[in-house]
Structure 1
Amino acid sequence: MPAAKTPQKKPLTVATVNVNGIRAAVRRGMAAWLAERDPDVLCLQEVRAPDEVLGSLLDEALGRGWHVAHCEPTDAGTKGRAGVAVATRLPVGEQRATLHPRFDGAGRWVELDVRTPSGTVTVVSVYVHTGEADTPKQDDKHAFLDAVTARLEQLRESGNHAVVCGDYNVAHRNEDIKNWKGNLKKAGFLPAERAYYDRWFASGWVDVVRSLHPGVEGPYSWWSWRGQAFDRDTGWRIDLHVATEELAARATSAVVDRAPSYAERFSDHAPVVVTYDV
């Protein structure tokens, strides 16, 4: 079996993807993508499975030696519908899953300190609520985003490199959503949601993919399973790497691993992969 990875001076590849259920993603071919991409750090959302199922996938695709920080929901209303994880074969430090007491059982936030030759990088996997305009679901989403904002400030003030990867369920600008005019009053593109990004980026956090792809439409990372959204590239860019300024400045490439065809998708989201020179 391959030995655990040891720190060495080389690019750090971080991939994030909402798998829409790890069992379903594996049936649709996720293991082949994982084996080909072989990221140093893997962030997952909507895992919807226990530790042993996730661990088995990683072992079968890439060999043993994985450190996994995995948080599944325990709340009755969210059990089986969320779950987040950060996995790596690099040396690790502390892991944390507490964002705010209100969301302790939600399975939407997990942190893992990953050790690199340039120091520790705190990697977070986040799954923000979908929400629904003018309903209690939207209130929950805003409360969660408030908690994320508070934690981002703590992470930034720590002085360490940090990147918060995941499904934010919010598009920031018009170029981040194909049909932006038709979604101005819908959850995912409401002004109050988009304002969170404004605050985060004004405080020093960076949308890494946008920084490397300025002024272009997309690159989108989510397309509905329905209709011809995928074939027509009618998508949303809602899967992000939000990094501290110092780490974002070390990003050398950012790509969306869009499937070659609708039939080859293993999720309604595509992996977003960023390489950092650390």
Structure 2
Amino acid sequence: MSDPRVLILGGTTEARLLADALAATAPHVRVTTSLAGRVANPAARLAGNVRVGGFGGPDALAAWLRQQRIDVLVDATHPFAATISAHAARAAAATGIDHFALRRPGWPADPRDRRHPARSLADAAARLVVLGGRRVFLTTGRQGLAAFAGAELDGLHFLVRTVEPPEPPLPRSIHILLDRGPYTLEGETALLLEHRVDVLVTKDSGGPATAAKLTAARELGLPVVMIERPPAPDGVPEVPDVRAALSRLGFSPAAADTCP
């Protein structure tokens, strides 16, 4: 295949690293990274072409793939971006192009963890009522905070960390911390102690950039409400890292080592 065209559905560190690796070692590959546009200021520049904004559903995505003559679709979105992953699977099936997901593994459990699995944001909110802690560190992102704004949680105080300011409805008692990872164990431990956190609520996003909060909670003996990942689309091959993605695309995995 001469000058293959690859669309990376991005927004994650893995998407950026894959685009960097392809640009550095396979410049003949025409790479486009698509961003949803939910974050006004992405964390880093992206190699190759960049597209910002949604496609308008699976049919519109399929039409775009045909128009741009894309050869391979790589779903490197966040593990909780279930809608776009489903749309990508349908669009790839409709066009017949190669398609796989680059999805980092979830965080492995440790015997010392006090994990409480939750199926959804609403389920996590319900578990807070049972756990009984009053000060909650909420790291589920700026969307979906309405699940924690119910009257049954009015007695709780939420420390909410997001990249950009969240929009209402919000919990009644809230302190918003605008910050972006990666985070250190020392910093996360100090944060939990400073705000006298009783319980951590997070998504099973995986990856090293935000894993330190789990270690800090473990060492402090804090319970963690862990929201489980939504099911992935059926029949879509998955790879766990950039090296495996490069190999599946037909390039040397060593190209991942050239990424900054």
Fold conserved between structures, TM > 0.5: no
- Whose helix fraction is larger, Structure 1's or Structure 2's? 2
Q: TM-score, normalised by structure 1?
A: 0.31
Pair member with larger Rg = 2
TM-score under structure 2 length normalisation: 0.32
